[in-house]
Structures are given as C-alpha cells and as structure tokens.
Structure 1
C-alpha cells in the first residue's frame, strides 16, 4: 500500500482495503501512548469509505474536551508518534500530520483535533456515515472529485473548496 502526497498535490486512487487496517494500527498507537477515550478516535475522509476513490492519506478524527486547552505536552506526545502540528489556522480544529520522512514533503496521515460531540465532530462523522450508507451520494461525491481533477486543477485548497458546497448541501438535506 502506497500512502502519501506531496504538499499541495491532489491525486485520487482506487479504494484500498489496507487503509482501514492502517487506521486501526495508528489508532492503537495513539491510544497506547496518549491518554484519550477510545470512543473519540474515528476514521474519516474518503479512505474511510469502501469503494470510493480517495487521496492516499489517512484522515483521523480525534475528539477532545476542549481543543483550546491542549498543551505542549499533548503535542509532544503526538510528535513522538511522528505527528507534527501544522500551521493551519482554524477556530474549531487543530491539524497535525505525519510525513514519510524528515523532509516534511509527503504527508501520509492527517489528524483533525476537534471538540468532541460538537459541530465539527458531528459534521465529519455524519458525512462519513452518509457516504457509507448511500451509494448514490457516494458516487456523486466521487464524480465531483474526478471532475475537479479532469479540469487540471491540482491544488489542495481549491480541491477542498470545490467539494465544500456538496458536503454542506448533503449535510443540510440529510438533517431536513
């Protein structure tokens, strides 16, 4: 199984069942080394959806009581596992990544630290679960990603923005 993409690169590959095995291994390492509730680590993103093309990066959602209270010792524990805090600024999320080596060029895993059972947590879990249980929505989502790449757009921020309306509309429609 090949994992990882260079910074700002966007490539999607066919689903690989080893992604789930990889997630479970990393989850166990996190639980063994960091004091967390085992119910607050989830596999999210397209690598968590059987049968859908995805960027070959494992997305890990970790819910904590209050992200604003995470201190240096918490991030030092993550660093020992190979995860580094990124400079991405979001009010409801802290992002960490694991890289292939110390050049920090190719990301293999991303941790999304959010407040447990709050909006960001709930949205990410709900969207994942919708894709897992609705083949028609899963196919639409995959088509959106494929269309982006066919238009020769290869920049991660544009890719994320391109998918965002679909994600928001799907969540809104599901909740109505």
Structure 2
C-alpha cells in the first residue's frame, strides 16, 4: 500500500502539477521536497523503540492519508501552504515506509523472519508498479487533481486498518 502511494506521487506529481498554473520547474522541486522527507525515516527506529510499532505506524498511515489528500487541495490554498504539506507528507510517508520492515521482522518467529520480511518486500514491489498504473488510469478517466490525490490516500487508510487489526488480533 505504501509503495502505491510513493510511486504514484513520485512518478506523477511533476506531470499533474505541471498541468496546473505552477511552473514545470516548481512542480519538479515539489517532488524533490516529497522525496527529501526520507530524512524523517531516521526517526523511525527511535520512535519504534519507545512506542507500540503497530499503533505508531497506524497513526503515521492516518497522517499520510490526510496529507496526501491535502496535496491535491493545496494548489487552491497557494504555494505557501502546498510546500509544507508536501514536505510533511514526504516525512510521514517515508518514516512509515521505513518502519514497516521492522514491524514485519517483529511479527515473524526467528526461523521464518527472513522469508516473511522478504515476501512483504517482494509483494510491496507490485505496489510500486500499481501506483503508476493507478494514476495513469485516473488521468485517462479525467479525474481532477483533487480526486487523484484522494484516491492515492486510500491505500494509507487501508494500511492503517491493517496495522490496527494486526495489533488487536496478535497481542504479542
């Protein structure tokens, strides 16, 4: 789910924002600011050592959904609002994405940990492909910028529910 969002945003945001009133160079810089959010991933280990990883990541997923949806609205609010939204969305999304392999490693017993995490990472790559195709299909169907980013927020909501479900089903 996370890679659907990440690659949908990274591959399509320059094109989508370039078709608006923004200069093409500004649209490309915004994508760079989203990717810069990877610096927030540095905090993921610290936070996961101190808080319940499932709940923490569920909160990050909820924040990701909200901020990704706000990117589509941000143009109507102005560039001074859009830039911080894109930076925060990148920080939250990348922190969440960096935390998920550790959450998976905590879930599987030692003898199956490598296999479990590898399957998670491998299946996640389908999301990387799906994200780009999803946005292409939305563009083809003439979805508005706001609608595209709302659709891109849905996988984060699904992720949040899955993490909460995991927390309540598997107490350990």
The two structures share one fold, judged by TM-score above 0.5 = no
Pairwise TM-score range, normalised by the shorter structure = 0.3 to 0.5
* Greater strand content: 1
